[in-house]
Structure 1
């Protein structure tokens, strides 16, 4: 481990020892969808439909820019998920700290409902990559709300996973930096307009189909494609 991981895990151990009643709360946050992706996906819908800055002569341009950022946030999140899995697959395997015998005593006994944790490398955190990518898109659309979104991703998604030993601190830091970086690059005007144009045109021409598909995508994103990941894991390792 590096200095950051060693210091943070030691600090977490002190909190875990003196706050046993706090562990069930952290477990609930990690296992539930509402304090994770649901809130950030709801903020993307808010950005899509917000109208307070879309009035006046430049209203249509402002609205289009906002919706481009939503598309970019979603695209960046999906890219982050794929990139996270590829990095975890091709980089040296890193056992999660909760399963590391030398570190197990540093973490509270916890029940984390994620059956693929033992076989998926810890680095980088795909949760941090995905939700920091989405939060960065929200930040580009609205700084005040975006600051909350980034804090939400760090405090309610990243820190609990460190506390329970699902990830090393550097897994979360690297994932957050990669997710933010992906959205920042994707938000460049030349990329943003080209990526978003087909989606916005489709939304205008076939609104029923678009919003139906957007609902399904929102659900899958909020659950981080959990059912599909478990199914893929069973098909790959169970056959």
Structure 2
């Protein structure tokens, strides 16, 4: 175990050491999350409206993808809650910061496993079941976003790896024939009957999926803190901008 922890730390430092050395790399890393939505929606649109065969099965898989992402994030949160709390590397061992002031919305949650990697690779897994090209393309993109989190000191490599494995596992497990029949099949019936309302809700759901249900989670956290004061959480809280955090060099 000590060897694995040491390897994890070494890999983190090997990547984070470049942070702050190049404005281009810093921007590519810090802005990686901002392109998730357009990239995701573009692939979904291409797959949904494709003229290739098996239209029904493609649509079913994309509907199930919504369930897979939601379930993977729930399992991610369960694991992070019941496993020992892991401080993010920027708070525990220090991190090189970008050459500009940068704030990360970390929601004061445990670093392990990475929720970004979880939902992005759940999406990649579902895309793979439709088209291996689309799945591979999004997996490469998900790797870029996930490694950007390591580069910036938000996650250790093991956090990302565990999140990716969780997301892929859930994506493949949820895409069963039973789920296609009981969930996706019934949802697609609504598409034919109430087309306008269906696509209105579908696009809203896709927007939430592209951000890992960010708005939903923020609303949920706010509701929880109506009953549990913010000061009662066990999470690490640090309001400092990232540029003022300890330097790992």
In which range does the TM-score fall when normalised by the shorter chain?
0.7 to 0.9
Q: Does residue 64 of the first structure (1) align with residue 56 of the second (2)?
A: yes
User: What secondary structure sits across from 2:154 in the alignment?
Assistant: coil
Matching of residue 136 in structure 1 with residue 125 in structure 2? yes
Unaligned runs of 5+ in 1: 55-61
- Larger fraction in helix: 1
List per-residue Cα deviations over 1:119-142 (Å, max 9, x = no partner): 211111111111111111111111
Q: 1:231 to 1:185 in 2, by over 3 A?
A: closer
Match of 1:130, SS state, is: helix
Task: State the Cα deviation string for residues 57-116 of structure 1 (Å, max 9, x = none).
Answer: xxxxx111111111122210111111111211121111111111xx21x43246233051
Q: Which runs of 5+ in 2 are unaligned?
A: 230-249
| d(CA) in 1 for partners of 2:220, 2:183 | 28
- Written as runs of structure 1 = structure 2, the 5 A alignment for 1:200-219 is 200-219=188-207
CA contact (8 A) 1:4 1:170 kept: no
Q: Does 1:224 align with 2:212?
A: yes
Q: Partners in 2 of 1:135 and 1:13 — Cα distance?
A: 25
The answer to whether structure 1 residue 108 and structure 2 residue 97 are counterparts is yes
Which position in structure 2 is the counterpart of 1:77? 69
Q: With structure 2 as the length reference, what TM-score do the two structures score?
A: 0.81
Higher relative contact order (CA 8 A, sep 6+): 2
Structure 1 residues 231, 89: closer, same or farther in 2, change over 3 A? same
- Give 2:138's match in structure 1, choosing from 136, 142, 149: 149
Offset of 1:215 from its aligned partner? 1.3
**Contact kept in structure 2, 1:66 and 1:141, CA below 8 Å:** yes
SS at match of 1:107: coil
Q: How many residues align?
A: 222
- Computed over aligned residues only, the root mean square deviation of the Cα atoms, in angstroms, reads 2.0
